[in-house]
Structure 1
């Protein structure tokens, strides 16, 4: 809906008007009066920074024609925006942004679960955004219906929606896409996972299958100290299946003896010396450490241990990890939001070698 700045030359005004329209949010099915929707949409664009002081809005006639609205509806919306102090009218010239309100950018952050490493993402995002943004956090717990409910209740109430779209593998991609499509794409940022059909949405992601393959390939000298690799991949469907596939592909490619178990108890029941265990969940990590102590096995020699996702506790315990850079992910999401970046960017994934492998 943006035309141009107050100080533009008048000659190029009309051509520019139709090339720089922003997406005025008018929902024909919404019971909210159309003039209220115009008011809300203009205020949102001002708060998002699409307008600055003295930017000119479309005329009443242009807006009516462009969005198939009555003149009375547009006049009523502009009248309310004037009363609220957002715009002013200049006789013979049109309507202009009067004041860019000092209001915090509102962000809804929806993630799959709260964990120590997800907290790192959250707090690094908050640090990057600083005091100019207010971030509300919601958890969908891998449940698509819960996610749908969160979006339905909050759509239109925030300037940006940051979503970590991890759901149980039983859900079809079309169901996830349907819910994400409720969010205007210029307000959506995806974290940690790509979603088909949203290639034009800013995304900071992991490539789970390639990441695990590549990081193991780069650290073959560590893995070759062991006679067998065993991946403890939980039976629940909350983790991307591409992780296990990447592990299997790596082992097959390098002709490495390997196995995949669903729990540490199952894996350790048939323990063989010189086995390296790769674990995702912390309870399996604890089981392997406890087992090694009970059997008098030396971590990093008799038995190997690599855990997913670094935390301060794992650092203190001396556990080798393969991990993405969670702090960088949260910081980058903040940069995308602040600078309106249109990127699709893979987050770094690497191994931190400590005493357990």
Structure 2
């Protein structure tokens, strides 16, 4: 059993209960294996005997352990073989749901997955971890944080999760010193390389515009990747928050994140004599069936592959970092 967190608000006896249950479910504690005595447990973790007795009593009442007179405490049941996973997403967009359902499908009946959402809020995330630490085999985190970063030490919160139980999804957290599993997008490099792959198509445009709302909680690395491409390939460029006030003109290629801005630009272009894909260009982020029907060029990651890869790595016990596929789909709008 791992060491108790003496700074946690969770009572010590509850931490013992959760730790023993987790070890049973992970197969670390097998059926009929003996637990440390109350005296051994209290001495090892510097706890009062009453605390350990209360924990063992709850475990016995819940059917996880049994006491044998004169011999001690034993595990009465084993794991059902299922991993217990807590997936903590930043939001529930249609794309994040693709990741989630692909993750579930790949795991099948070999895992129980609970879902919570931190809504980009570091304090809310810290509270979720504090309430659930020790209850799961794995904690799968989408580490996109914008709000309340000054209210918690995010590094310490993440370090409180045992590194072998921590998984980063969609974005890595590279400065964490411990080794962990990650399936991620490298937003800055991915955007740069996607635009670079369309270099010959972009040559006919002298100006590029990124439409990126500041209130959308999008990774700042997207703007940096866009900036780096424009600077390296001598493009006049600007970054705007909305397309509603934009005056479209020939020789401009737009990169658009939100579908409302994409629709606004298509409407504006159709009100001119400009020909999409010749006089003016459109690139959208993340593919949909509608964008395919409208013949819109997209830069996108493979969301289903992200969920599938993370699940496969968990099932295989791997602890590696994998960059998720990211590419440009060429269509008539460029």
1:190 matched to 2:168? The reply is yes
Residues 166-216 of structure 1: per-residue CA shift (max 9 Å, x gap): 122783597432443454444322212222325423222211111111222
Structure 2 distance, partners of 1:289, 1:49, is 56
1:162 matched to 2:136? The reply is no
Shift of 1:91: 11
User: Higher mean Cα deviation, 209-218 or 165-174?
Assistant: 165-174
Structure 1 distance, partners of 2:282, 2:169, is 28
Distance 1:151 1:60, change over 3 A: closer
- Structure 1 equivalent of residue 189 of structure 2: 210
- Structure 2 equivalent of residue 107 of structure 1: 85
Q: 1:140 aligns with which of 118, 140, 147?
A: 118
Structure 2 distance, partners of 1:237, 1:116, is 15
Unpaired runs of at least 5, structure 2: none
Unpaired runs of at least 5, structure 1: 2-22
Distance 1:201 1:159, change over 3 A: same
Structure 2 distance, partners of 1:27, 1:74, is 15
Whether contact under 8 Å (1:169, 1:237) holds in the other structure is: no
Structure 1 distance, partners of 2:127, 2:51, is 31
Q: 1:252 aligns with which of 222, 226, 231?
A: 231
User: Higher mean Cα deviation, 185-194 or 148-157?
Assistant: 148-157
Q: 1:329 aligns with which of 286, 289, 306?
A: 306
Whether contact under 8 Å (1:231, 1:259) holds in the other structure is: yes
- What TM-score, normalized to structure 1? 0.79
Give the RMSD, CA atoms, in angstroms. Answer: 3.3
Structure 2 distance, partners of 1:44, 1:245, is 42
Whether contact under 8 Å (1:204, 1:333) holds in the other structure is: yes
Shift of 1:278: 0.4
Shift of 1:351: 0.7
Shift of 1:264: 1.3
SS in 2 for 1:265: coil
Whether contact under 8 Å (1:26, 1:38) holds in the other structure is: no
- Structure 2 equivalent of residue 224 of structure 1: 203
- Structure 2 equivalent of residue 315 of structure 1: 292
Q: 2:44 aligns with which of 66, 69, 73?
A: 66
- What TM-score, normalized to structure 2? 0.84
SS in 2 for 1:114: coil
Shift of 1:353: 1.2
Q: 1:49 aligns with which of 27, 33, 44?
A: 27
Distance 1:336 1:90, change over 3 A: farther
Whether contact under 8 Å (1:47, 1:103) holds in the other structure is: yes
Whether contact under 8 Å (1:82, 1:88) holds in the other structure is: yes
Distance 1:205 1:96, change over 3 A: same
Structure 1 distance, partners of 2:30, 2:271, is 66
